[in-house]
Structure 1
Amino acid sequence: PVPALPALSALVFGGHDTLSCPLTKRAEELAAGGVLPYGLPQAVHAELTAADAAIRPGGPQAGDTRTDAELISAFAADLRAFRRDHHLDRTVVINVASTEPAPADPHGDRLPASSLYAYAALRAGCPYLNFTPSTGLHHPLLQEMATVSGLPYAGRDGKTGQTLLRSVLAPMFAQRALAVRAWSGINLLGGGDGAALADPGAAAAKNAGKARVLADTLGELPAGDLHIDNVPALGDWKTAWDHIAFDGFLGSRMTLQTTWQGCDSALAAPLVLDLARLLAAAHTVGLSGPQPALGFYFKDPDGGPAALAEQYAALVEYAELLRNGTPS
């Protein structure tokens, strides 16, 4: 049998980043903003410095003349070197980059950045998780390759706030036969996510996953729009409002309004740790292909139920399967 999931103390962190801000400084900024406890950045200064040393320049960036093939080879080489240099049993690649716009031409000559990294993960023999709504492995040129890779993968777009609440509320309306006439929402957020989602293409990619939760649970997408507004003054914090118009007994008109205020990075971090450990265990026991039982964590999962309670039940069963071991 396979032991419990890899211990948190067994994880080693590295990656690619397009920003040059040291992790120590970023942690101090998060503590100053109330996201991290006071004094924590100093307490883990050595660990942050070690992780910083394992971060390589991300790409492609403006002016990068390398071809897709050259970029994929370089990224895959970095992944292999990371595993070798740190004497790791396996490496799980997780996309936590800013949301990119959906490619205008899915069959175009160039792959989006998220798909370059997904391709590199497959080439380096690494399980892959897409915590963003970006294309990643969903690109038509990569889907067959992912299927035959023998690697487990999951995604996409982490479910941390407004959509998490939607995946709880939507089944309530369906199960009580309360007809939803309209469901509208507004997101106000700052930081890097706010700046990235100011791009209409990126915002559209983000909203698609939010809409899918409602459509899958209610059977159709209710009327109503979802807006994402960049408010730099909010920093790493986010406010989300939902307004739900529904019919009660004999068509009586009712509404429900919700407000969600939180910090997406603090909500996402434990999910990323969970997913890294779960997919590492899946790789250990020889599972491959999409892992729909991890839909609990995603807005747009690869199959499985849409309602949170059913997703959690599937996750618990999956975790038990991993503990007991599964034939390759």
Structure 2
Amino acid sequence: MIIPHFWAEARLQTKSAGRQVTVRRWGWSEMSQKDAQALAEQRAKEAMERILAGESLRRREPRDTYGTAEGVPIREEVVSRHDHAIVTRNSYGSLCLNTPDVLFADVDAPWRGALHVPFVGCLAVVLAGVVAGLVLKSLWIGAALAIGIPWIWSHVLWRINRARRSDGEARAKQENLEKVRAFASAHPDWHLRVYETPAGYRVLAMHDVFDPQGDSAKKAFEAVNTDPRFSRLCALQDCFRARVSPKYWRIGYRPKEWLPKSKWPFPSEEVPRRKRWVEGYEALASGFASCRFIERLGSQTVHPHAEAVRALHDRLCRADSSLPLA
């Protein structure tokens, strides 16, 4: 796991075969901004040489904060460091706990309405409306039928799905919780802590440490129905990750000044606005919990790294409080 404190971007430009070639590359460092800039310039130079030699490479690395660009670590503001864990602030302002070897699994339970307007059915209604308009020689009647009936149909189904949403989400969460419990029963040597989140559950393994890219973590993720994107990001980032402060829209935080859209590192002119946004967000976020501890499963074996991360996680999330989840 590499989450650097200092970041810089270098830009090189030259002409080749009558055309302009521009290359941008990121650099990073744990030591200083100067070292980050030096690495950025070195990576930009190497990329330029490979491009001019005929290799097909990206001219500019995507501004992806999650480290999914090849060779580029997680690019987020480092808020604090705690031995084997690092707390960062993500692109939408929430704090995230990153750890190289303590397994977290997000077991979300999204529910999508079972009723929907099938494409073939919608197309049939549209064609019927067109035909009716031609037969009746009325553009308005044809348009009203072709557009109005699918709209009314979809609106009625939307209302039905909305009425069923609460029960559907509850069933989906319960099904996922049963998968976690089944996994614990099949692996009695594992020690799992289960937390409720606004979207489902979070599982923390306490008995051992894990390789985020290893088979044990991958198989556990699959068994408990971990969100596929979460699993993929853990492998790409070579770390496990858990959001430990609320999402701002869930707590109703709507300041006059919105969070700057620029990603870390921020332009200097945006830093004061970012600071004011964070101060307001944290004041409101203190009244909410990010998850709530609900049960312990399996053995009572505790790895010291996992216990240290657990204590930090529970404190930051307010996992033992009765505050509303967000």
- Structure 2-normalised TM-score? 0.26
> TM-score w.r.t. structure 1 length?
0.26
